[in-house]
Structures are given as C-alpha cells and as structure tokens.
C-alpha cells in the first residue's frame, strides 16, 4: 500500500508518495498530464543534472550561493546526470509547452537529494539551512531558459555519443566495400532501365560518400545546438534575476564536463522565443535519413531474387522471411532502415511544426518544446541504432554475385553506347532494337554484320574500360 506525505506549493497542498524524491509541483503535474503516460526522455533528465550542477558551480563562483549548499546541489545534480534517479521523473511529455513541470521536477529531486546529504528529510525545503528547489537549485534561472538549454545539451550529447560513432562505422564499412569490389563490373541502371557498365566499387563509393556526408551533417547539427545555449535568458531573454557572467560560466563548466564546445547564445530573445536551431539541426537528420533510405533501398533491390530478380548482391540470411512460403528470405535489415527513415521524416514534421510561428514559437517563448525534444531524441537514437544494425548484420556479410554481374553485362543492350562515337547514335539505336527483337547480344549482332573489326570491337565492348574514360 502506497503511503503519502503532504507537501505544499504555491497553489496549495498535494499528496506526494512518501518515497518520492519529487515534491508538490511534480505531483500536481503528474495529476494534470496523464496523456502519453511516457515521461520526458531520460537524456533530457540527465542533461538537467549536468545543467543544474553547472548552474550551482557558477552561482558559487559568483558568490551567490553558499558553499555548503552549492556542493550538496552539485553532488545531487551529478547523481541525476548519471541516471541514478530516472524513476523519480514521471512528468508526461505532453505537459506545459515550456517544460516548466520538468524543470520543477529536477529542482525538487535535486533539492531533496541535497537535503538528505545535509541531514534533512524529504520535503524539508522550508526548514532553516535546507536547500530550496526554487531559491537555490533554480537560482538565476527560469524554466524558459533551463528546459531549452537541457534540450540543447541532451541533443548535442546524443549526437556525439550515439549517432556519430554509428554513422562513422557505417561509412567506414561502405568504404571497405568500395575498395574491395573496385575490380568488379556490373551493369548500371537509370530510370530502373539498363544503362552502361559501372564498377561495383564505384557504386559503393557513392554510398560511402553519402554516409560520410551524413557524419558531416550530424557534426554540423551538434555544433549548431552547442553554440546557441539559451541559459542566462531567464524569463523572456532579458536575463532578469541572473548575473551577467552566469551563462558564460555555465557554458564553460558544461564544456569541460561533456567535452563539447557549449557557447552562450549570441541573442537570448532569439534563443528562447524561437527554436530555429532545432529545426535546422533536425533538417540535417532528415537529410541523413534520406541518404540511409537510398542506400538501403538500392541494396535490397540489387539483392532481389534469387531467381526472378536482379540478384547482383548476396545479402546475409538473417531470418526466415515467410510463415507460408518455405525457404523464403527477405531483406529485413534494409527494410528496418527504411522504416527508420519514415519515422525520422515524421519527426521532422513534428519538430518543424513545433518551431513554427503561431504554433510553437509565440512572442517571447516557444511553447512546444517537450514534444520537439522527444521527436529529436527519437530520431537520433533510431539513426544511431539502425546504422549499427545495418553495419553488423548486413554490410559485413554482404557479397557480390560476380557470375550474375557478368551475365547481365553481356546481355545488356546499352553496351552499344560505346560504339556510338564509331557508328553514330542512330545506327546504334537501330542495333539495340534489332538485338532485342532477335534476342541477341550487341557483340553478336555487330560481329555478324562486320560493322567493327574484331580487335577494335573487343576493346570498345570491354566493360571495365567503359568505366574508365580516357
């Protein structure tokens, strides 16, 4: 049976579970927002831990906060940052658009943890010498600058630690395939129709370049978020009730702790009233998702078959593909990546509309921040996870069906392209149509009609040579 303690906030008394580290404000928010029944993502809570520790450190350095209280707040905040108390952050994603309830959740948890270190019990905020969630943990801050600052921290850290390493591995594995298969030639395709030959290594060089550009885009997103920190703007971007050096010191502390270059926003009204930097950063994620979907879709098509498809690539067999068709194996890993791309595209709509003037960004504050960061973090997590899965379960075991590649090249009517400079475009077009009608290869037809000397024809129709102009 759950037991409760009675606490008060500015609106009156609230019953709080006796073992909860949060207080009345959080309990009220839990009652008010039973919407998704999903709390704000853990990376945001951990970011609040890092942020509150940095704020306490800055206030200590500036002589605003007693050393004993500051040290207790910093220690408690570090425990929150380490994820030790995630279960004490129950406020729903779909809450107040400024994230005030989560900021107060952090203030209350950290205050109670700090007070326990100081020898007080939970709910001791009104006692002499105790840490107060607003007066001490939230000193020099507002929900309006702390929640967006935590968003920036959480997103930048996840980009650095979760997504970028996975994309780097993904790009490196594709680059290995580029070198490994550069001597193999396959038929190219445009408009889903046969085209001229291309080396398999060249195809994978394109994929590797896309993956490399994805890491560049992810890095740009990380830098953009880290360099536009809203902390220090307090209520409406003016910095009321905080020290002029506060934000600079907080960013310096965070940079040292997280090994990222956090910088105070150049313009605080912009950083709080608009979340354009998040819209921009997620735009990079959307572009990355487009790249991943292209690579995954190409590979699953090139592996289609095994008898009635293209089948130039041999995909690793990871699991049975059908509950009714025995022996069927599907490109499930590629399909997983494509589905992630679909989700990221949807999340981009969420982030865009949450940042859109008249919906999220209104006057001096964006009021759709919790859903924005939830969508952003999901995109980062999914891209990082699926890139690792694709690398480990598909790319490392991927092979080229060399015999199939040779067969399709020999049959391709577009081999006639290399003869156009010798025979002319119109003659070659007629040859292609005749070869198709008579079910012959271009080599057969040209040889039969003695249109080009045998030695020259051999050189002109060399598939590898056709991929190396000049």
Q: What is the pLDDT of residues 124-176, one digit of tens each?
A: 988 999 999 999 999 999 999 999 999 999 999 999 999 999 999 999 999 99
Q: Are residues 303 and 199 in the same domain?
A: yes
pLDDT at 9: 87
Q: Tell whether 429 is covered by a domain.
A: yes
Average pLDDT over residues 83-108: 98
Q: Are residues 210 and 62 in the same domain?
A: no
In 3D, which of 302, 339, 307, 335 has the Cα closest to residue 321?
335
pLDDT mean across residues, the chain: 97
306 upstream amide cis, omega within 30 of 0: yes
Q: Are residues 85 and 216 in the same domain?
A: no
Domain residue limits at 118: 20-139
Q: Tell whether 193 is covered by a domain.
A: yes
| Overall domain count for the chain | 3
pLDDT at 450: 95
367 sits in the region (left: phi over 0; alpha: psi -120 to 50; else beta) called: alpha
Give the span between the Cα atoms of 278 and 420, in whole angstroms: 52
Q: pLDDT tens digit string along 373-390?
A: 999 999 999 999 999 999
Quick check: 88 pLDDT over 80? Answer: yes
Would you place residue 27 in the very low, low, confident or very high pLDDT band (cuts 50, 70, 90)?
A: very high
Q: Are residues 320 and 376 in the same domain?
A: yes
Q: Are residues 163 and 289 in the same domain?
A: yes
Q: Tell whether 398 is covered by a domain.
A: yes
Q: Are residues 450 and 371 in the same domain?
A: no
Q: Tell whether 196 is covered by a domain.
A: yes
Q: Are residues 294 and 395 in the same domain?
A: yes
In 3D, which of 380, 389, 49 has the Cα closest to residue 219?
380
**Radius of gyration (C-alpha) of the chain in whole angstroms:** 30
The model carries a pTM of 0.96
Q: Tell whether 407 is covered by a domain.
A: no
Q: Are residues 127 and 166 in the same domain?
A: no
CB atoms within 10 A of CB 394: 24
Q: Name 12's bridge partners.
A: 9
Quick check: 1 pLDDT over 80? Answer: no
Q: Are residues 437 and 396 in the same domain?
A: no
Average pLDDT over residues 330-350: 98
Q: What percent of the chain has pLDDT over 90?
A: 96
Quick check: 208 pLDDT over 90? Answer: yes
Residue 196 φ/ψ, nearest 5 degrees: -85, 165
Quick check: 291 pLDDT over 90? Answer: yes
Question: Is the distance from CB of 73 to CB of 53 less than 8 angstroms?
Answer: yes
Q: Tell whether 11 is covered by a domain.
A: no
Question: Of the residues 110, 139, 168, which one is the last residue of a structural domain?
Answer: 139
pLDDT at 358: 79
Q: Are residues 329 and 374 in the same domain?
A: yes
Would you place residue 14 in the very low, low, confident or very high pLDDT band (cuts 50, 70, 90)?
A: very high
pLDDT at 39: 98
Instruction: Calculate the dihedral angle through the C-alpha atoms of 123, 128, 130, 131, rounding to the nearest 10 degrees.
Output: 100
Which distant-in-sequence residues (6+ apart) come within 8 Å of 399 by Cβ?
Answer: 313, 314
Q: Are residues 397 and 416 in the same domain?
A: no
Question: Of the residues 139, 169, 194, which one is the last residue of a structural domain?
Answer: 139
Q: Tell whether 354 is covered by a domain.
A: yes
Average pLDDT over residues 443-450: 95
Q: Tell whether 15 is covered by a domain.
A: no
Would you place residue 29 in the very low, low, confident or very high pLDDT band (cuts 50, 70, 90)?
A: very high
pLDDT at 116: 97
Give the span between the Cα atoms of 40 and 146, in whole angstroms: 14
Residues marked as catalytic: 191, 322
Would you place residue 112 in the very low, low, confident or very high pLDDT band (cuts 50, 70, 90)?
A: very high
Copy the structure tokens of residue 313: 């690539």
CATH of the domain at 355: 1.20.200.10
Give the span between the Cα atoms of 258 and 250, in whole angstroms: 12
Residue whose pair of structure tokens reads 């380490």 in the numeric block = 82
Q: Are residues 72 and 176 in the same domain?
A: no
In 3D, which of 79, 80, 53 has the Cα closest to residue 136?
53
pLDDT at 117: 97
In 3D, which of 399, 451, 403, 432 has the Cα closest to residue 194?
432
């Amino acid at each position: 049976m759950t037991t409760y303690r009675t606490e008060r906030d500015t609106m009156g008394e609230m019953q709080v579970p006796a073992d909860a580290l949060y207080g009345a404000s959080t309990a009220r928010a839990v009652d008010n927002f039973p919407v998704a029944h999903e709390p704000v993502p853990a990376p945001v809570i951990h970011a609040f831990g890092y942020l509150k520790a940095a704020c306490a450190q800055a206030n200590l350095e500036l002589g605003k906060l007693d050393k004993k209280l500051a040290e207790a707040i910093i220690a408690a905040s570090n425990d929150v940052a380490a994820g030790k108390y995630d279960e004490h952050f129950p406020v729903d994603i779909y809450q107040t658009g400024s994230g005030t309830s989560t900021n107060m959740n952090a203030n209350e948890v950290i205050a109670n943890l700090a007070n326990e270190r100081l020898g007080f019990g939970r709910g001791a905020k009104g006692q002499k010498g105790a840490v107060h969630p607003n007066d001490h943990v939230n000193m020099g801050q507002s929900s309006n600058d702390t929640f967006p600052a935590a968003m920036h921290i959480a997103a930048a850290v996840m980009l650095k630690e979760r997504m970028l390493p996975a994309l780097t591995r993904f790009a490196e594995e594709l680059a290995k395939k580029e070198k490994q298969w550069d001597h193999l030639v396959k038929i190219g395709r445009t408009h889903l129709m046969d085209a001229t030959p291309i080396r398999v290594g060249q195809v994978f060089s394109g994929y590797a370049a896309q993956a490399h550009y994805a890491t560049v885009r992810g890095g740009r997103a990380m830098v953009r978020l880290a360099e536009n920190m809203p902390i220090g703007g307090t209520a409406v971007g003016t910095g009321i009730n905080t020290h002029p050096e506060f934000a600079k010191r907080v960013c310096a502390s965070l940079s040292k702790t997280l090994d990222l270059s956090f910088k105070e926003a150049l313009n605080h009204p912009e950083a709080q009233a608009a979340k354009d930097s998040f819209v921009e950063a997620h735009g990079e994620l959307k572009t990355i998702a487009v790249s991943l979907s292209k690579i995954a879709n190409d590979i699953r098509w090139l592996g289609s078959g095994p008898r009635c498809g293209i089948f130039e690539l041999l995909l690793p067999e990871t699991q049975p593909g059908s509950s009714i068709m025995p022996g069927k194996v599907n490109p499930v890993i590629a399909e997983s990546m494509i589905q992630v791309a679909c989700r990221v595209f949807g999340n981009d709509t969420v982030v865009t509309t949450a940042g859109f003037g008249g919906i999220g960004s209104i006057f001096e504050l964006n009021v759709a921040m919790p859903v924005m960061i939830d969508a952003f973090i999901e995109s980062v997590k999914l891209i990082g996870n699926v890139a690792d899965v694709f690398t480990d379960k598909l790319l490392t075991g991927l092979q080229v069906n060399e015999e199939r590649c040779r067969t399709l090249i020999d049959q391709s009517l577009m081999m006639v392209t290399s003869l156009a400079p010798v025979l002319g475009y119109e003659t070659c077009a007629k040859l292609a149509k005749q070869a198709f009608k008579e079910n012959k290869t271009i080599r057969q037809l040209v040889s039969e009609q003695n249109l080009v000397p045998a030695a020259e024809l051999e050189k002109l129709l060399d598939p590898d040579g056709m991929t190396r102009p000049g």
